[in-house]
Amino acid sequence: MTSNSEPTRNSPKHILKLSIKEKREFLDSFDRVFSDVDGVIWNLVGNIPGAAQGYRMLISAGKKINFISNNSVQPLSEYERKFKAIGIDVDLDTLVHPATSIVKYLKNINFNGLIYVIATEHLKNILREAGYEIIDGPTKILKESATEFARHIISDEPVRAVVIDVDFNLSSAKLIRAHIFLRHPDCILIEGATDKLLPIAEDLDIIGPGPFAQVIADSSKKRLITLGKPGKDLAEMLVKDFKIENTKRVLMIGDMLEQDVGFGKECGFQTMVVLSGGCKLGDWERETNLANIPDYYADSAADFIELMNDVNKSNM
């Protein structure tokens, strides 16, 4: 029988404030962890103290750890270097981020066509290496002339997919060109990173790619195929690719309410937010979407060190 009552707002529990019995039950409740990277393992300043050791302790306890990021700006070689430096062995084939997810989606639908890309050179190169033909631009400053502007944005090239992710040289001309390509009924719209705001320093956020992707979706009336967190398309792909049968046995850890917690809830996972990145203590109290409120929280992933030690001592 379905209840018609509104969902209740539950406050997340700090993992170190649980009783010993609750700590043990929490650790026993999940077999796999999906974790964000930026703001959880490291940030722009450096590695987050103790986070890597916290994850190594989870791995030693038999938990499977997979990393999932909205950051496809950073090359895979840089991910590999950073994980190696902190002593975490990561199979890059299982690292989930927008560039690889977009390629996987295109292969799954047997896409064959020209792609217009608004993104970094790194993402473009991953698409090229996967065998896809892409176009981009305009990349130069255009004269303030309607004729000149039209010459650079209007074309009859057979674009059948528009991909948008982080682009440090985004312009109105690129957005308008994407809108024009999407007028074709067979042209699809794919979004990578969805972040509305990107935290880059203490008390400093910048506009992320999400709002620009939404502008294109609204103007073209196309469905956004979202392959970054918290996209439903990515959630379905993740559960299928990792052959997850019981989603409640998975814990999603991140530092953002919408991107990480919301994504975990979309997947049916348990969720935990850390306060070492974009989320601050009590942010969930102002959150209007109950799906973005975590089950648990911690100051950082380093809290797993104390939690594991507490449980281990109680087992002696």
The pLDDT tens digits of the residues spanning 103-147 come to 999 999 999 999 999 999 999 999 999 999 999 999 888 888 888
Same domain, 63 and 181: no
Give the separation between CA 303 and CA 274, rounded to whole angstroms. 9
Give the separation between CA 13 and CA 245, rounded to whole angstroms. 26
Same domain, 206 and 122: yes
2 in any annotated domain: no
Give the separation between CA 113 and CA 306, rounded to whole angstroms. 52
Number of domains making up the chain: 2
Same domain, 121 and 221: yes
Contacts of 66 (CB under 8 A, 6+ apart): 32, 33, 34, 35, 94, 95, 96, 242
CATH number at residue 236: 3.40.50.1000
Among 98-102, 146-150, 233-237, 258-262, the range scoring the smallest mean pLDDT is 146-150
- Both tokens of 288, joined, read 């209007």
The domain of 170 spans 98-226
243 in any annotated domain: yes
Q: Render pLDDT for 20-37 as a digit per residue (tens, 0 to 9).
A: 999 999 999 999 999 999
Same domain, 143 and 54: no
* pLDDT band (50, 70, 90) for residue 166: very high
5 in any annotated domain: no
Residue 5 has pLDDT above 70, yes or no: no
Same domain, 73 and 118: no
H/E element, 204: strand 204-207
Contacts of 290 (CB under 8 A, 6+ apart): 7, 9
Give the separation between CA 311 and CA 25, rounded to whole angstroms. 10
Same domain, 309 and 276: yes
Same domain, 82 and 121: no
Same domain, 257 and 153: no
Q: Which of 189, 204, 226 corresponds to the end of one domain?
A: 226
Confirm whether pTM is higher than 0.85.
yes
Same domain, 74 and 121: no
